[in-house]
Amino acid sequence: MGTAIGRYPEDVYDGVGFSGGNPWYLATLAFAELNYHAAYEFKQSGQIAITEKNRIFFERLPTFQGKGVNAGTVIHKQDPQFQSVISDMIASGDSYIERVKFHMPADGSMAEQFERTSGYARGAKDLTWSYKSFLSAIEKRRLVAQ
């Protein structure tokens, strides 16, 4: 499962009071969507250009772990590594979706946050933004899988 994502390190809003921030469904889903969206854009362009700015993003993917990634590398669609990177990005996005699903109650509802120690829903119940984030990530997932 992917990492549960909160708003920012100094966040203290817990959905009810101010005892310490928690992961948010929508923030975790944003990381899923980021992976799907980037993979989709790379597929559309037919190449993956690794730069100093995005190199760290690629270093965490299984394709590159232990091998290092150099800025200035361009992986073209014809290179077998291209599909491997795209698959890694989709799997990374899927891991964030799995994290969210793990913390969803059995009825599929999503609150604002899930409590950092218990994992239970916390804050605004049935937060529309959480559902929209889920639908948006799933739509990007569908696009990149085509």
Q: How confident is the model over 52-84, as pLDDT tens digits?
A: 999 999 999 999 988 889 999 999 999 999 999
Rg (CA), the chain: 17
pLDDT tens digits, 115-136: 999 999 999 999 999 999 999 9
Phi and psi of 98, rounded to 5°? Answer: -60, -40
pLDDT reported for residue 66: 82
What is the structure's pLDDT at 131? 97
